[in-house]
Amino acid sequence: MKEFDLDSLSREMPYKMPEHFMDEMTERVISQISRERKRHSEHRLYAWFAGAASVAAVAVLLLHPFGGSLNVPDYDSISQCASIDEVFQNMSSDELGLYSMMTNYYGD
């Protein structure tokens, strides 16, 4: 049997490429790349905003720990108040008489 000579064959393919295929493929690739780029830039923008918001939150916490401007009671000044016994000791006899009269009238 005679051996087949590969070099005698043309380098053609038995298939065809559809007409305008390369132009259509180029446009398809370009439009997909445009979408990728848009998505990427949006993602970068979100990442930037998220980063900026985090930095701002940390800065607020560092500058005003637990919200310094809120109306939180001043426990130090409360502890400095006189005790009830001290108040009674400093009352005059008229004040004490008035106090006992009111407690009798309204009850304890």
Partner 1 sequence: MSKRDPKDSMNSQATLSVSDDSIAQMLCDDSRVEQAVRLIMKKYGEQLYWHIRRMVVAHDDAQDVLQETMINVYKYRSTYSNEFPLSSWIYKIATNESLKLLKSKSVGMVSVDDLGDALKETVRDEAGPDADETLVLLQEAIALLPTKQKMVFNLRYYDEKSYEEIHQIVGDSVNTLKTNYHYAVEKIKNYITEHQL
CB of 30 to partner 1, least distance (A): 6
- Give me 102's structure tokens: 């009111």
CB of 52 to partner 1, least distance (A): 23
Q: How far apart are CA 66 and CA 75, in angstroms?
A: 15
Q: In this structure, is the dihedral angle defined by the CA atoms of residues 30, 35, 39 and 41, taken in order, positive or negative? A: positive
Per-residue x/- marks for partner 1, 12-31, CB under 8 A?
Answer: xxxx-xx--xx--xx-xxx-
CB of 3 to partner 1, least distance (A): 6
For tokens 């006189």, the residue is 82
List of residues 6+ apart from 48 with CB closer than 8 A: none
Can residue 47 be called a binding residue for partner 1 (CB under 8 A)?
no
- By C-beta, is 20 or 93 nearer to partner 1? 20
Q: How far apart are CA 98 and CA 81, in angstroms?
A: 23
Can residue 4 be called a binding residue for partner 1 (CB under 8 A)?
yes
| Residues in touch with partner 1 (CB under 8 A) | 1-4, 6, 9-15, 17-18, 21-22, 25-26, 28-30, 32-34, 36-37
